[in-house]
């Protein structure tokens, strides 16, 4: 029998309670993993999508709640192009639009001759031509989930479109979208002359000083504009902030719940076992040793609970990201680091949570509990 056998025995001795506690801890951890993973995933999805398209800087309307609500006049394009260090400007009118089978897809309208078209990795068909306004190119994953091939017709915005080509993007977000000529996007969404965002290519995107200068120029010339790098795209975005804030709040609550569950279980369990603890004291166990045993029990519960919770969390995050409503927009970003962070946090919380009941029961004089039978 080693130092872990006794706490383990104490847990397995009360299987129902230990199981329910484990369940509580796992669900809390699962909620935390799923929410943290998804909210980190949003950042990465947006960044990867933009980077893949060779975008160095984006310009949107300042202060919009939702990036799709950004509305900029198209003629800004030439002004932005005139800025020193800016080599390319591509207007993009983007929105989540109704598609076939009750789904929503990300639809991008790109201007004729935009550099963005050059980044499309076509695997079948061709790019939609500007004189074929009702034609689109589909990301391969979107094409697959809609069951479309080149030459088929796909319904977007309640209108039939010809699938001109299919492209295989690396980024999940990009690979789940459809792209069409800007003019037809504007017409179909009643936004003539308007775009959501300008994508900029710079002379030297690694030159941080030049980048900062360009951003300052844009933001001072047009106070209603906001610039963002691909990494910073989700910052200052109210929708994402709301989602992430909500996510963090819920995950914090989840962790607090886990701690309370562990405290509650251990308070009950040590109260029941007062006599056993007094016996240990009578046969020469010091207070610290007894506390360590109880804390080990708490940490065993939280360790197993977090292992199960991580598995559940990954499963539910993948489930959420596979739901039609979010499909392709967010892929959970569950890194080893996130997991290590969670395990460490939960173990520490477990230790703290079990310390209190341990300390409380070992405060008494042993004889009181020895008699109490």
Partner 1 sequence: MTARAEVPAVVDLDRVRKEYDGGRIVALDDVTLRFGQGESVAIIGRSGSGKSSMLNAMAGLDRPTRGRVLIDGREPPSAAHWTRLRQSSMGLVFQSFLLLPTLTARENVEVAMFPRIRSVAARRARADELIAEVGLTDRAHHRPGELSGGERQRVAIARSLANDPRVLLADEPTGNLDSRTSAHVLELLMDLHKTRGMALILVTHDPAVAERCHRQIRMVDGRVVEDRVHGGEGRAA
Q: Which two tokens stand for residue 123?
A: 């695997």
Q: Which stretch binds partner 1 (CB under 8 A): 63-71, 154-162, 326-334, 361-369?
A: 361-369
CB of 102 to partner 1, least distance (A): 57
Nearer to partner 1, 73 or 286 (CB): 286
CB of 363 to partner 1, least distance (A): 10
Q: What is the DSSP letter of 89?
A: E
The verdict on 82 binding partner 1 (CB under 8 A) reads: no
Nearer to partner 1, 74 or 279 (CB): 279
Q: Which stretch binds partner 1 (CB under 8 A): 122-130, 246-254, 271-279, 297-305?
A: 271-279
The per-residue b/e assignment along 105-143, b for 16 or more CB within 10 angstroms, e otherwise, is: bbbbbbbeebbbbeebeeebbebbeeebebbbbbbbbbb
The verdict on 3 binding partner 1 (CB under 8 A) reads: yes
The verdict on 276 binding partner 1 (CB under 8 A) reads: yes
CB of 296 to partner 1, least distance (A): 13
User: In three state form, how does the secondary structure of 308-359 look?
Assistant: HHHHHHHHHHHHHHHCCCCCCCCCCCCCHHHHHHHHHHHHHHHHHHHHHHHH
Strand pairing report for 122-125 and 225-228: unpaired
Nearer to partner 1, 210 or 370 (CB): 370
Helix (H, G, I), strand (E, B) or coil at 136: strand
The verdict on 16 binding partner 1 (CB under 8 A) reads: no
CA-based diameter of the chain, in Å?
A: 94
Backbone dihedral angles phi then psi of residue 258, each to the nearest 5 degrees: -60, -45
Q: Which of 257, 287, 314, 347 binds partner 1 (CB under 8 A)?
A: 287
Q: Which stretch binds partner 1 (CB under 8 A): 86-94, 150-158, 221-229, 359-367?
A: 359-367
Q: What is the DSSP letter of 170?
A: S
Nearest CA-CA partner of 177 in 231, 103, 233: 103
The verdict on 210 binding partner 1 (CB under 8 A) reads: no
The verdict on 372 binding partner 1 (CB under 8 A) reads: no
Nearest CA-CA partner of 42 in 244, 198, 336, 248: 244
The verdict on 17 binding partner 1 (CB under 8 A) reads: no
- What does the angle CA 95 – CA 313 – CA 262 come to, to the nearest 5 degrees? 135
Q: Which of 34, 116, 280, 300 binds partner 1 (CB under 8 A)?
A: 280
Q: Which stretch binds partner 1 (CB under 8 A): 71-79, 103-111, 135-143, 363-371?
A: 363-371
Alpha-carbon distance of 311 to 334, in angstroms, equals 11
Q: Which of 279, 307, 308, 326 binds partner 1 (CB under 8 A)?
A: 279
The verdict on 275 binding partner 1 (CB under 8 A) reads: yes
Q: Which two tokens stand for residue 122?
A: 């076509």
Asked if 11 and 291 touch (Cβ cutoff 8 Å), the reply is no
Binding mask 222-261 for partner 1 (x = CB under 8 A): ----------------------------------------
Nearer to partner 1, 169 or 285 (CB): 285
The verdict on 366 binding partner 1 (CB under 8 A) reads: yes
The verdict on 365 binding partner 1 (CB under 8 A) reads: yes
Say how many C-beta atoms besides its own lie within 10 A of residue 14's C-beta: 16
The verdict on 63 binding partner 1 (CB under 8 A) reads: no
CB of 263 to partner 1, least distance (A): 22
Say how many C-beta atoms besides its own lie within 10 A of residue 76's C-beta: 17
The verdict on 281 binding partner 1 (CB under 8 A) reads: yes
Nearest CA-CA partner of 115 in 134, 93, 89, 141: 89
Question: Which residues of the chain form contacts with partner 1 (CB under 8 A)?
Answer: 1-3, 5-6, 9-10, 13, 275-276, 279-287, 289, 365-367, 370, 373
């Amino acid at each position: 029998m080693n130092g872990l056998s006794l706490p383990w025995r104490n847990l397995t001795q009360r299987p129902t309670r230990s199981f329910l506690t484990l369940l509580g801890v796992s669900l809390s951890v699962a909620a935390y993993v799923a929410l943290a993973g998804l909210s980190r995933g949003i950042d990465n999805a947006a960044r990867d999508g933009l980077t893949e398209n060779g975008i160095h800087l984006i310009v949107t309307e300042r202060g919009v709640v939702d990036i799709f609500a950004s509305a900029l006049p198209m003629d800004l394009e030439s002004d932005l192009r005139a800025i020193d260090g800016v080599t390319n400007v591509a207007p993009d009118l983007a929105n989540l639009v109704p598609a076939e089978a009750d789904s929503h897809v990300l639809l991008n309208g790109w201007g004729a001759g935009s550099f963005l078209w050059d980044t499309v990795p076509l695997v079948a068909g061709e790019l939609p031509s500007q004189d074929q306004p009702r034609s689109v190119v589909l990301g391969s994953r979107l094409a697959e989930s809609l069951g479309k091939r080149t030459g088929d017709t796909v319904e977007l915005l309640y209108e039939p479109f010809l699938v001109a080509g299919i492209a295989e993007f690396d980024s999940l977000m990009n690979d789940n979208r459809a792209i069409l000529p800007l003019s037809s996007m504007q017409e179909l969404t009643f936004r003539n002359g308007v775009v959501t965002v300008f994508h900029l290519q710079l002379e030297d995107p690694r030159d941080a000083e030049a980048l900062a200068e360009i951003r300052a120029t844009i933001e001072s010339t047009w106070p209603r504009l906001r610039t963002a790098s691909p990494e910073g795209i989700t910052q200052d975005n109210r929708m994402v902030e709301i989602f992430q804030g909500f996510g963090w709040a819920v995950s914090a609550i989840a962790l607090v719940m886990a701690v309370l569950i562990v405290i509650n279980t251990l308070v009950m369990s040590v109260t029941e076992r007062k006599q056993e603890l007094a016996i240990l004291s009578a046969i020469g166990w010091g207070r610290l040793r007894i506390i360590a045993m109880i804390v080990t029990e708490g940490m065993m519960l939280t360790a197993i609970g977090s292992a199960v919770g991580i598995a559940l969390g990954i499963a539910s995050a993948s489930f959420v990201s596979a739901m039609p409503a979010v499909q392709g927009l967010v892929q959970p970003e569950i890194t080893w680091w996130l997991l290590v962070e969670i395990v460490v946090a939960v173990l520490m919380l477990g230790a703290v949570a079990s310390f209190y009941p341990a300390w409380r029961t070992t405060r008494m004089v042993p004889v009181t509990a020895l008699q109490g039978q």
